[in-house]
Structure 1
């Protein structure tokens, strides 16, 4: 299992239109998803983060395909970037 973090820039003017699309996308997956944003705005851009804890290795590809189909590209500035994290092994 992995934890997936996807971040991207959102034009402040497009934030209200994008938020329900992201939430609808997240609701389509049977995983506990989160949607976050940085509190500051730089050059009219917000930084958003989608968090998907405890997903399988195939999930990032399914999410990417769903995001492309959801039409996010016209509402974000630049690419969606994904980072994968795993738990550290416990000490014996």
Structure 2
């Protein structure tokens, strides 16, 4: 299992409309996948844009496909300013 961190830019004027869409998409994803997402943003804005991050911990195989479908269905791209960037992290296992 891996953790996904997805960050992107949002224009200040779109923030109020986008937040409930992301939260609804995350709730819809949680039902079939068991993964509860969180939504964060950097403090402040730069050039009228905020940086947001979605975090999904301990995702099962295929979650990225479900997430991409959820983003399309929710129409999130119409309120983001530029591409979504994904980072993948995994736990460091200890050796016995």
RMSD over equivalenced CA pairs, Å: 0.9
Aligned length: 92
Higher helix share: 2
Q: Is residue 20 of structure 2 the alignment partner of residue 16 of structure 1?
A: no
Structure 1: 4+ residue segments shifted above 3 A: none
1:48 maps to what in 2? 52
Q: Which of 50, 57, 61 is matched with 2:61 structurally?
A: 57
Q: Is residue 48 of structure 2 the alignment partner of residue 82 of structure 1?
A: no
Query: For the residues of structure 2 that align with 1:18 and 1:76, how far apart are their CA atoms?
Result: 8
Query: For the residues of structure 1 that align with 2:64 and 2:87, how far apart are their CA atoms?
Result: 9
When normalised by structure 2's length, the TM-score is: 0.91
When normalised by structure 1's length, the TM-score is: 0.94
Query: For the residues of structure 2 that align with 1:3 and 1:23, how far apart are their CA atoms?
Result: 18
Structure 1 residue 91: Cα displacement: 3.3
SS class of match (1:15)? helix
Structure 1 residue 69: Cα displacement: 1.7
Structure 1 residue 75: Cα displacement: 0.5
Alignment deviations for residues 11-58 of structure 1 (CA, whole Å, 9 cap, x no partner): 000000000000000001221211000002000000000000011131
SS class of match (2:23)? helix
Unaligned runs of 5+ in 2: none
